Structure 1
Amino acid sequence: MEISPHKVKAGRPKAGTEQERHALLLEQALEIFMLEGVSQTSIGRIAAACGVSTRTIYERYENKYALLIAAIKHMVEKDVSAMVQIDNLSQQTLQQVLTDIGRFMLKRVLEPRMLSFFKIGVAEASHLPELSRAMKAVGPERIHQMLADIFSFYAAKNQLAAQDYKRAAESFCELLIAAPRLKALFGVLEPDWDAEVHLAFVVNLFLHGLQGMEPGYAVE
């Protein structure tokens, strides 16, 4: 199965309403994938829901998997753009920045539709390993790189020692997301669970560990 998100096309994409229509197509397609699952969704179903022809979609994407990857990439890039547009980044502490970003991420992954999509993705990953890898590349890995870039920014200000910031970013996301998402998926998230308390604990635990590490430290 070919996973490349776009067919090769000559020229530059059109501006204005064409770009907006394309963005809307990606957003609507992702909603359908989230609600109905990848295996149950067809290009025809998406085309009908979006009010376009299947030919219009196939002119850009060779199959539904390529469309899904493009839709996920579009969503993640919008989220990354929202997260990095933090007011006065250079004047805030890393703790403040991670709190703002962590709040956004935690709210996002615990949305019912995102939980549903994650469950579908896990169920279908074993049948479509190429798709799983492609989704990871445009999803979690993009978020990890954004965080790594932020850590590098603060390292340049002498607020962090030199580390493997990509690995640090992965660890932060795991600390922040893994347990509450798993509990939410199984319906066992405590009724009195407080997202802000969890967020503050994770940010403090992560930063105290990161700042106390020797330069270049890595666990193999």
Structure 2
Amino acid sequence: MSEPSPGRSVPASAGEEPRRGPGRPSISNEALLDKALELFLDHGFAGTSIDAITQSASMAKRTIYARYGDKASLFRAAVAHGLDRFKPTFDRLSALEADDMDETMDRIADAIVASVVSPDSIRLLRLIRSDAGAVPEIVGDFSDRTLDPVTAFLADLFRRRTALGQAAVEDSRLVAELFIDVIARGPCSKAAADLVFAPDYVERHTRFAVKLFLHGLMTIGDGPDGHSGARTELCG
């Protein structure tokens, strides 16, 4: 059976089991995605066949096609499954909030950076970069599942803290996007490129980036000594 051409969307829910007759037992969908993702990570999209996945998962090829239709859709589902493993969730980020703005942003920055520089997340990022040409939809999936939820949380946080007088943010979404760039882009890019850096680089980068972001732009009512208890002007 030849593999259908890429381009079909991933089913909204792949949890429903198709009817099957006698034969080998079917593993759970999560286990299938685990097996498929590991093969894709090791060999890429082009280097991984449905036959290899069926062998690894001990699953009939027709069952995989019944669930996903083609290899591209299975690839998207496997990548999405991988992204869901390490993305910071809204509830997790909310639990990191403190009364103090600096402490809040330090905690959130640590969670964001930890999620993007772990070995598993770096492997997944490399896979997305290398196979975006074959399955371009995974770029949007990456944004939808990781960047967009974190950006939305941060934008809401900046709006709430502005209302409390702890910040002065005019465009909360823009500031949220900039925060993610400042905090995560450097460590993530270095790790993805296998660049060697000092063991404390990530910690120093994160602490300095948060300090620069919150206090290095502009403060309202700075005195001649450079100190002020006024709120931080983040935008505008």
How does the TM-score come out when normalised to structure 2?
A: 0.68
| 1:6 corresponds to | 11
1:129 and 1:79, CA in 2 relative to 1: closer, same or farther beyond 3 A?
Answer: closer
For 2:233, the equivalent position in structure 1 comes to 212
2:205 to 193, 198, 211: 198
1:38 aligned partner:
45
Whole-Å separation in 2 of the counterparts to 1:168 and 1:53: 49
The DSSP-based 3-state class of the residue aligned with 2:183 is helix
Residue 8 to residue 177, structure 1, CA distance change in 2 (3 Å)? closer
Seen in structure 2, the aligned counterparts of structure 1 residues 149 and 13 have a Cα distance that, compared at 3 Å, is farther
- Which of 162, 168, 171 pairs up with 2:175? 168
Q: CA RMSD in A?
A: 3.4
Q: What is the alpha-carbon distance in structure 2 between the residues aligned to residue 108 and residue 88 of structure 1? A: 16
Among 185, 195, 205, which residue is 2:192 paired with? 185
Does structure 2 retain, via aligned residues, the 8 Å contact 1:144–1:166?
yes
Structure possessing the higher radius of gyration over alpha carbons:
2
2:183/2:206 contact within 8 Å kept: yes
Q: Distance in 2 between matches of 1:82 and 1:42?
A: 32
Question: Aligned residue for 2:92?
Answer: 85
Once residues 142 and 3 of structure 1 are traced to their aligned partners in structure 2, the CA distance between those partners, rounded to angstroms, is: 24
Bigger CA drift: 151-160 or 40-49?
151-160
Contact 1:61 / 1:67 at 8 angstroms: preserved in 2?
A: yes
In structure 2, do the counterparts of structure 1 residues 131 and 88 end up closer, same or farther at CA, with 3 Å as the change threshold? closer
2:63 corresponds to which of 43, 46, 56 = 56
Deviation at 1:200, TM superposition (A): 1.0
Describe how 1:127-142 pairs up with structure 2 within 5 A: 127-142=134-149
Q: 1:60 is paired with a residue of what secondary structure?
A: helix
The answer for the alignment partner of 1:109 in structure 2 is 116
Moved more, 24-33 or 75-84: 75-84
- 2:103 aligned with 1:96: yes
In the alignment, structure 2 segments of 5+ residues that lack a partner are 1-5, 18-26, 219-231
Deviation, 1:52, is 2.5
Higher relative contact order (CA 8 A, sep 6+): 1
Percent identity reads: 25
Selected match of 1:26 from 9, 33, 40: 33
CA distance in 2, matches of 1:80, 1:115: 12
* Partner in structure 2 of residue 118 of structure 1: 125
The alpha-carbon deviation at position 130 of structure 1 amounts to 3.8
Please give the alpha-carbon distance, in whole angstroms, between the structure 1 residues aligned to 2:134 and 2:10.
19
Aligned partners of 1:125 and 1:131 also within 8 Å: yes
- Contact 1:35–1:113 under 8 Å retained in 2: no
Q: Give the Cα separation in 2 of the matches to 1:149 and 1:77.
A: 22
SS of 2:7's equivalent in the other structure is coil
- Note the C-alpha offset of 1:6: 0.6
* CA distance in 1 between partners of 2:205 and 2:110 (Å): 10
Equivalent residue number for residue 17 of structure 1: none
- Which residues of structure 1 form unaligned runs of 5+? 15-19
Cα distance in structure 2, aligned partners of 1:156 and 1:13: 45
Q: Distance in 2 between matches of 1:135 and 1:194?
A: 26
Pair 1:177–1:93, CA change in 2 (3 A): same
Cα displacement (A) at 1:212: 1.1
